[in-house]
Amino acid sequence: MDKFIEWFKSLNFEFLSIIGAIIYFIVIIYTIFKIIKNTVNPSKAIGYLLIVVILPIIGVILYFSIGMNYRLEKLYKRKYTHDRNFYQIIRNEINEHTEKRILRYNKLLEGKIHPIRMLLNDSSSALYIADRTELLINGENKFRKVLEELKKAKKHIHIEYYIFADDNIGNEIKEILLEKAKEGVTVRFIYDDFGSHSLNKRMIKELREGGVQVAAFYKIKLYAFANRMNYRNHRKIIIIDSKVGFIGGINVDDRYINSSNSKLYWRDTHFMVEGEAVNGLQYNFITDWNFCSGNDVDPFDKDYFHKSSPVFAIDKNPELMQIAASGPDSDRATIMLVYNGIIMSSRKRLYLTTPYLIPNETIVNALKYAALSGVDVRILVPYKSDSIIVNAASCAYYKELLASGVRIYRYTKGFVHAKTIISDTNLSVIGSANLDMRSFDLNFEISALVYSETINQELYDAFMEDIGNSTEVTYREWIKRNKLVDMGNSIAKLISPLL
């Protein structure tokens, strides 16, 4: 030990300083190179470059923890490989099946063929036929149906949530899962480790000891805390016996259920589907499960998939459905691309609801194009967001959208958390993805594209009721806003690619 101390004291600290400076310089140059090479969004790249130049050490840590484009780096390589192998095997069958349905129902699908084929070519997303569907407005309606259907389970329950709270509704669902597992029903449960941080070890232990298979999606660990926190599984789906499925924006949390005791009215939308259309949800659950559980489910096991309906022996006016799913494991920002296609293909009306409006340039231009083309474009957002910075960043987009003819409404009855799109009279979108860069680039998201005039009309009626509980933002009023507030919004917009 004494010899080591003497050796350490004898070192030339000037020499060590030079070596340290060289290493520091190399790290900075390497980081700048990675930012330029891998950051697809120019504004995001400029943001990270500025941070690295102004605050080098903080900038480097920030970029490598939350800024790297893990879609290019294939952080989720195992999941990506699994998914691609499965797709390649069934691709031809899906393509043939979907093309026949496009031909058979071309009148119902009028004007929406391009988004359908985009999803088909991008991720082999089949066009399914739904036996029955139901639009579920708000948590009180959703959970009534969820509890009812869970109690009917005979074979398996697959449940995946961003937020699963240890509260009244969380424990009510937990008790049903335990009871079903006791009856011999296979129960698999995925929760996001960041979103469900309030889910305590006691409940997880109780579920596992009761026979429920539980897996955290990409568990947060100290050595990789930041990037694991950044890449979240934002999906909210349930599959029961391959017959019934739920998808939408409502997490398992008491605050989504409006009652006389609610402090804040929570406006949200979910969707229930029965029949072969559940297969799209089932496939995505199984690939997520196989990634995070370490206990693979055979994706070809017929017990997990509903038998497809014959292509021609069906109703003349069916309800068709397609699933759009994307995340850091996908080749492209699938949901952003299909949303862009829906916006661009709309001909009469386009009504969007989102709690977080921080679109990228592609979506902004598509919205402006649609409005300037004469499409009735309306966006419903909260009057106040649950994040001051996000709310300020959203406001910064209003001026250019309003100037192009987009109509913006701010919901005043409570907090609107729904993520829906109404395109013309034949396409509706209900899912987990917001109109923001996080949903497009970072989160694992899933949305249902429903080709149905009935669901479209129901969603339209709900949207118009929401408009009645909102205040419209006009261009003339908006440009008169306080200049300091406007400046604050512009600053928030600058950092919005990093949010």
Residue 452's H or E segment, with its range, is none
pLDDT of residue 462: 98
User: Do the domain assignments include residue 401?
Assistant: yes
Report which of 73, 69, 51, 48 is spatially closest to residue 442, judged by C-alpha positions: 69
Q: Is 236 a catalytic residue?
A: yes
Task: Please check whether residues 306 and 348 belong to one and the same domain.
Answer: no
pLDDT of residue 322: 97
Is residue 269 pLDDT above 50, yes or no?
A: yes
Question: Of 34, 158, 236, 243, which residue is the catalytic one?
Answer: 236
- Percent of the chain at pLDDT above 90? 57
User: Do the domain assignments include residue 479?
Assistant: yes
pLDDT of residue 224: 44
Question: Of 241, 253, 441, 466, which residue is the catalytic one?
Answer: 241
Is residue 313 pLDDT above 50, yes or no?
A: no
Task: Please check whether residues 55 and 143 belong to one and the same domain.
Answer: no
User: Do the domain assignments include residue 89?
Assistant: no
Q: In what order do the strands lie in the sheet with 376-382?
A: 128-130, 319-326, 445-451, 427-431, 420-423, 349-353, 376-382, 407-411, 470-473
User: Do the domain assignments include residue 99?
Assistant: no
Task: Please check whether residues 182 and 286 belong to one and the same domain.
Answer: yes
Question: Of 83, 268, 424, 436, which residue is the catalytic one?
Answer: 424
Domain total of the chain? 3
Confidence of residue 291 (pLDDT cuts 50, 70, 90): confident
pLDDT of residue 498: 56
Task: Please check whether residues 285 and 375 belong to one and the same domain.
Answer: no
pLDDT tens, residue by residue, 76-89: 555 555 555 555 65
Round the average pLDDT of the chain to a whole number and report it. Answer: 85
User: Do the domain assignments include residue 51?
Assistant: yes
Task: Please check whether residues 263 and 401 belong to one and the same domain.
Answer: no
CB 375 within 8 A of CB 348: yes
Worst-scoring range by mean pLDDT, 215-219, 311-315, 377-381? 311-315
Task: Please check whether residues 297 and 339 belong to one and the same domain.
Answer: no
Answer with the residue of higher pLDDT: 413 or 482: 413
Task: Please check whether residues 373 and 285 belong to one and the same domain.
Answer: no
pLDDT of residue 227: 45
Domain that holds residue 364: 334-498
Task: Please check whether residues 295 and 342 belong to one and the same domain.
Answer: no
Task: Please check whether residues 238 and 343 belong to one and the same domain.
Answer: no
Task: Please check whether residues 484 and 411 belong to one and the same domain.
Answer: yes
Task: Please check whether residues 27 and 148 belong to one and the same domain.
Answer: no
Mean pLDDT, range 28-39, rounded to an integer? 72
User: Do the domain assignments include residue 324?
Assistant: no
Confidence of residue 371 (pLDDT cuts 50, 70, 90): very high
User: Do the domain assignments include residue 431?
Assistant: yes
Question: Of 82, 180, 368, 419, which residue is the catalytic one?
Answer: 419
Question: Of 158, 234, 306, 368, which residue is the catalytic one?
Answer: 234
Q: Is 419 a catalytic residue?
A: yes
Is residue 94 pLDDT above 70, yes or no?
A: yes
Q: Is 424 a catalytic residue?
A: yes
pLDDT of residue 225: 43
Is residue 160 pLDDT above 60, yes or no?
A: yes
Spatial distance between the Cα atoms of 318 and 425, rounded to a whole number of angstroms: 14
User: Do the domain assignments include residue 105?
Assistant: no
pLDDT of residue 9: 54
* 3's tokens: 């010899």
pLDDT tens, residue by residue, 105-137: 999 999 999 999 999 999 889 999 999 999 999
Q: Is 417 a catalytic residue?
A: yes
Task: Please check whether residues 296 and 361 belong to one and the same domain.
Answer: no
